[in-house]
A = this chain, B = another copy of it.
């Protein structure tokens, strides 16, 4: 059942992926390696029919899930790709030993990372970019907006969409939208090369900022995102868990505030049982509109308000109804616990009081 990846040309700094992104940038695997035999499953992670998700990002703990069968196990040019079937969560996609999506709870993450920026826009989006997201779940959510003309995805690892289409139909249904254009390429380079102000929304499923993936949380990438998004548009990036990673989030929020000067920076979260701590956050950066800026007096976009409404069911595309998101969930996602507000509120445009 193994799908083998063709080697891809890697032109950018490389990184491992951890969380819900498949932009990766992996290690430079040789053609020989990519064609190697089925990789061994680490006996540390897979033992006695149980998988345990351990990482230096959440030391000393990890979710354990009992699995029935390993449906897929291969090494792409970028990462180790595993699909396992489980009783508790249905089929589960792992990249380099970290849970990316499960059939049971993926809707929470995919709906929130897509609809928080899309619904907050003052003017409906027409052109959207997803960096990573190769399972297709975010595409499925974007397809709920009839006003969107183009949905671009920059995904470096072609094995991920292939595996998703084979094993995860409820997510890969997103690829059926005729407005989707899949670019197998380095996501950072794609953003750097994009025309200035050419996207209403950019969604980044970034990896955790340790090791080589650190670049995805650094200034050059965020400056490129700021350039590529329209004035009044929104960049929404995966932004870790307030329970585990407050210092990272604080640093990220501070940087976003400097880069999106005159616009707004906000933090929201969603609950999801299979991500570490049971939740994950998003940084929403709204680019200043031309009439804005220091002294202009016009308020920046406040993303806590849902102004647009995603369609619930899209029968022609096979897209089923929303499971997590509605306008009330949208606004309450920005209400963070006191300990988090105390730590990062000073960098947030609307959430510091």
Contact = CB atoms under 8 A, between A and B. Distances in A.
A34 interface: no
Interface stretch (A20-28, A176-184, A273-281): A273-281
A273 B272 CA distance: 11
A278 B275 CA distance: 9
Contact of A338 (B66, B278, B324, B336): B324
Nearest to A67: B60
A96 to B, nearest CB: 19
Contacts of A335: 328-329, 331-332
A59 B326 CA distance: 30
A328 B156 CA distance: 41
Interface string A298-336: 000000000000000000000000111110110110011
Interface residues of A, number: 42
Contacts of A331: 332, 335
Contacts of A328: 335
Give how many copies assemble into the complex.
2
A72 interface: no
A65 interface: yes
Contacts of A276: 273
Interface stretch (A86-94, A124-132, A165-173, A228-236): A86-94
A136 to B, nearest CB: 20
A326 B86 CA distance: 39
Contacts of A60: 65-66, 86-88
A338 B323 CA distance: 6
B61 A63 contact: yes
Contact of A64 (B52, B107, B273, B339): B52
A4 to B, nearest CB: 31
Interface of A: 52, 58-66, 86-89, 105, 107-108, 243-244, 271-273, 275-279, 322-326, 328-329, 331-332, 335-339, 341
Given A61-B63, A61-B64, A61-B89, 19 more contacts: A59-B66, A61-B66, A62-B64, A63-B64, A105-B243, A107-B339, A108-B337, A271-B271, A271-B277, A271-B278, A273-B278, A278-B278, A278-B279, A323-B339, A324-B338, A325-B337, A325-B338, A329-B335, A329-B337
30 contacts: A52-B64, A59-B66, A60-B65, A60-B66, A60-B86, A60-B87, A60-B88, A61-B88, A62-B64, A63-B63, A63-B64, A108-B337, A243-B271, A243-B273, A244-B273, A271-B277, A271-B278, A271-B337, A277-B278, A279-B279, A323-B338, A323-B339, A324-B338, A324-B339, A325-B337, A326-B338, A328-B335, A329-B338, A331-B332, A332-B335
Q: Which 8 A-B pairs have the closest CB atoms?
A: A278-B278, A60-B88, A332-B335, A332-B332, A273-B277, A60-B66, A60-B87, A324-B337
